[in-house]
Structures are given as structure tokens and as C-alpha cells.
Chain A
Amino acid sequence: MLELENVNVYYGAIHALKNLSLKIEEGEIVTLIGANGAGKSTTLKAISGLVRPESGKIKLYGKEIQSLNPPEIVKLGISHVPEGRRIFAKMSVMENLEMGAYTRTDKSEVKKDFEMVFSLFPRLLERKEQLAGTLSGGEQQMLAIGRGLMARPKFLLLDEPSMGLAPIIVKEIFSIIKDINETGTTILLVEQNANLALKTADRAYIIRNGEIEMEGHAKELLNDDRVKKAYLEG
């Protein structure tokens, strides 16, 4: 279980997260939706240790992790697939996946996970030796997710996996996200595409100006009039 309790994050004078609390139970897909600049990515960065909260607690199975640095958090089983994919463009697909398994020492298990990633994303296998920067946008997103999975995380944080991709590829990627969840990985999904995110997730939080505005079951929020008006129409 991953929990955020009254987390406050500042960027200089900007109060980016205001007493933000949320909770992710094991096995769930939870989505965090909201407008550009609402604090979605910052929430993920606070969890993975890239930004340090000014106050508040982040707990993984009850243990406080808010003061740990990113490598320590990866080792605890939280893998963050950042916004904009951020793959290593001048390294091969295979090397990118190896970087994903950077903290692991169980070589034979890592090998199995390469195969797992290639079976999820067969296109990556075809392009194994290619430089990652030469992949298409959709393939790069697949690589970013595959790289995240190579850490064998219990919690996978996905930041805008649909960004800039053709609808058909988005559909493919979201169906794979569901598959990943079904194998036991808990997912926190940040999305601007609220409609798609709510259809995929079990529960959802809506964030606005750094605060949680609404929370509930994804299906209910999908039919909520206020949500429809603010996030699903137009």
C-alpha cells in the first residue's frame, strides 16, 4: 500500500502540492487526472524522490519514504515512467532495458524479465539493437514502460503514457497497461486524457491547483456531471 499524507511541495515560491493525500491499495489501477499544471507530475516526482516534500509523509507499506533518494525508492519497488518517455536516445533498446534493471542483482530473473517485456511489446524485440532515439513515438513509450518494468516494481507510476500518440497506439498501450496490472503490478496512472484514464482505472483522484478536488470510483466519476463538464467534454 502506498499512501501520501498531507504532502506539501514548493518550487521556490510556488506551492505546487497543497496538503495532498491519496492512497493506493495493492492491485489497483488508480488514476490521477487534472489540467495541465495541476500538480499531477509533481505528485509522481514526490513519490519517486525527484522532488522532496516540504512537509507531509509518503508511506510504502507503512514505512516512511519521503526522505529517501530516487535509487533507494527504486530498490523498494516503485518504478516511475516519466512524462515525455525520457528514454536514453543514444543507447540501444536493449541497453535501455538493462538500465531499467540497474539496481537488480538477480541475473537469471532479470533475463526472464527481458523476455516478459519482449512478450508484452514484441516490436521492441524486433528493434533490440536499434538506437532508442530512432524508434517511433509509440515504440518509445513502449520502451519507457518496458524499462520501468525491468525494475520488477510492485508499484508502477505512469506519467502521461498517451502523450502525443495516435489514438490506435494509445488504445494498444492502455490495453497493455491493463495486462500489466493483471499480473499483479499496482499502477498509479497520471493522465490528461480523463475519459480514457477513467475507463481504465479502478479509482480516481481529480487534482486541481495542487489539491485533491474529488475522489471516488472511476466508473462513478465517469458519470458525474461536474466531472463530465470540467474534464470530459470539449
Chain B
Amino acid sequence: MEQIIQQLINGISLGSIYALIALGYTMVYGIINLINFAHGDIYMVGAYVGYALTTFFGLGFLPSLLLAMLTCSILGIIIEKVAYKPIRNSTRISALITAISVSLFLQYTMMYFVSPQTRTFPNVLKGSRITFLNGNVMLDTKNIYILAITVLLMVGLQYIVHKTKIGKSMRAASLDREAAQLMGVDVDKTISFTFAIGSALAGAAGVLVGVYYNTINPLMGTVPGLKAFVAAVLGGIGIIPGAMFGGFFLGMVETMVSAYGGSIIKDAVAFGILILVLLVKPNGLLGKTIKEKV
């Protein structure tokens, strides 16, 4: 029993990270039907920005988090303008190849500048440990911070997407780009904004991971990026609540599998889920094929 609770706590933290990354995947896919495989590397850049700000500039946790988010959103906008916009009307395969190229470009540029070595993220979030159930379950306050920040960001995202004008234009453009243009939506601006928001969330995830697991390296984005992609597909790609659900679900499953002796196969389980979802319910668990009346 204690072990299950303990793993639940760990699973929620890991799930928060996946969910934050998955949101960016799903939003970008929703609006331009592109699987942005560079998204995991934006998360990596976020972690390094957080590292630099805390280590070299001595900034605290919160300012570093916000600045990392800002940097990543600018990076996201630039990537879209430089790499994806020129091929927006090309075939899907060229878009996919471009996304993979951007991913490799970010990884190895980063490696050139910061060296491939693993770095230790400073302990900026002084967590205290709370033990309960006779000391068998340990709750680090970091876990609470991570969950709180994730939830806060998600609530903020939901607010933007549903209540603000720019959010409504994002949804309209993802449903029907041409019709949105006829309403007067500047689609280029809307796409930029989508990349900015998605990348900011990835940046936040990067800093949170640095704080939680303490180590970062230039290739750290690859596997979580792919896992977040699985999470996005699991919840139904293009569906924002789906990405949240998928992230937490996957984090939980992975932690449970590791805890009960399967840590070697935890990645296999994650990708097994992807295969299963694609076979059984390709629209994702929250996805519906809504029949539109004609």
C-alpha cells in the first residue's frame, strides 16, 4: 500500500512533465498538422536556460522559470518562421523531415556550445521532505511545486484558449483555416502565437525537470519528447485536455512499471501503448470522430 502511494506521487510528477510537453505537441499539430519533433529539444533548451540563469546569474527559481519560458517561446516563433513556414504547403513527409532536422540541429548546436557532458542543476528549490505512514512514504515538497506549477499553467492555458480572442482565433484556425481567414484572423500571427505558447510550456517542463532530477544534458529532450508524443496521441492528438490526460496517464504507467520490476521495459511499455492506441483507437482516448451533418 505504502509503495503504491509513493509511486503515485512519483508518477504524478513525471506525468506533469510529460503533460506539459505533450500540450505543445498537440497544439502545434492542431493548427498546422505537423508533428513537431523538435519540441523535445525546445524543452532541453529550456532546461539549459534555467541552468544558466540559476548557476551563472544566481537568479531564483521563479524568475528563471519565467525567463526560460520566454526564451523558449521566442525560439519557438523563430523555428516556425525559419523552418516550418516556408514548407507549410508542402507534403507531410517534407514537413516531418524538416522537423527531425530542426531537432538534430538544436541538439548538436547545443552540444557544440555547452559540450555533451551532463551538468548538475543547482538545488534552487530547497525542498523539505515530509514522511508519513510510519516513514514509509516520502513526499518531497518539490513534488508539490511541480504539480502546482503544472496545474497553474494548464489552467492558464485553458483560460487563454477558451476565453481570450487570440485563443478563440487559435481554435478557429485549427478547425478551418480558410474560414478563420474569412473572419479576419491573421493566420500567420495565430500560428506564431501557438508555437510561442507550446514552446513556453516545454521550457517550463525543462526547468522543472532540472529541478526535480538535477541533471541535464543536450540529448535529454529526445526520449521525453517521444514519450510526450505518445501521451498526445494517447489522449487524442490536437485535443488539449487529451494531452493533459495522456501525460499524467503515461507518467503513472511508467512509474508503476518501473516500481514493480519492469524498469528495463518501461520505454517498451510506453511505445507499446502508442502501438496499441494506433491499432485500437487511432483518434485517442478522448478523441471522437464527430459526424458533421451536411
Task: Give the chain A neighbours of B182 by CB distance below 8 A.
Answer: 48, 50, 70, 74, 79-80, 82, 86
Q: Is the CB of B183 within 8 A of A95?
A: no
Q: Is the CB of A102 within 8 A of B293?
A: no
Interface residues on A, range: 20 to 34
Mark each residue of chain B from 158 to 171: 1 if its CB lies under 8 Å from any CB of chain A, else 0: 00000001001101
Contacts A88-B176, A102-B169: A74 and B293 contacting too (C-beta < 8 A)? no
A135 within 8 A of B: yes
Q: Is the CB of B184 within 8 A of A91?
A: no
A214 within 8 A of B: no
Task: Give the chain B neighbours of A140 by CB distance below 8 A.
Answer: 293
Q: Is the CB of B293 within 8 A of A135?
A: yes
A100 within 8 A of B: yes
Task: Give the chain A neighbours of B180 by CB distance below 8 A.
Answer: 88, 99
Compute how far the CA of A50 lies from the CA of B180 in the bound complex, rounded to whole angstroms: 11
Centre residue among A50, A71, A98 by max chain B CB count within 10 A: A71
Instruction: Name A99's contact: one of B172, B186, B290, B292 (CB within 8 Å).
Output: B172
Chain A residues near B (Cβ < 8 Å): 48-50, 69-71, 74-75, 79-80, 82, 86-91, 95, 98-100, 102-103, 133, 135-137, 140, 147, 151, 164
Chain B residues near A (Cβ < 8 Å): 165, 168-169, 171-172, 175-176, 178-186, 290, 292-294
Instruction: Name A86's contact: one of B165, B178, B184 (CB within 8 Å).
Output: B178
Q: Is the CB of B293 within 8 A of A91?
A: no
Q: Which 8 A-B pairs have the closest CB atoms?
A: A103-B184, A74-B184, A86-B179, A70-B181, A71-B184, A102-B184, A102-B183, A88-B175
In the assembled complex, the CB of B163 is this many whole angstroms from the nearest CB of chain A, namely 11
Instruction: Name A71's contact: one of B165, B178, B185, B293 (CB within 8 Å).
Output: B185
Q: Known pairs A48-B182, A50-B181, A88-B172. 12 more at Cβ < 8 A?
A: A70-B184, A74-B184, A79-B182, A86-B179, A86-B182, A87-B179, A88-B175, A88-B180, A89-B175, A91-B171, A99-B168, A133-B292
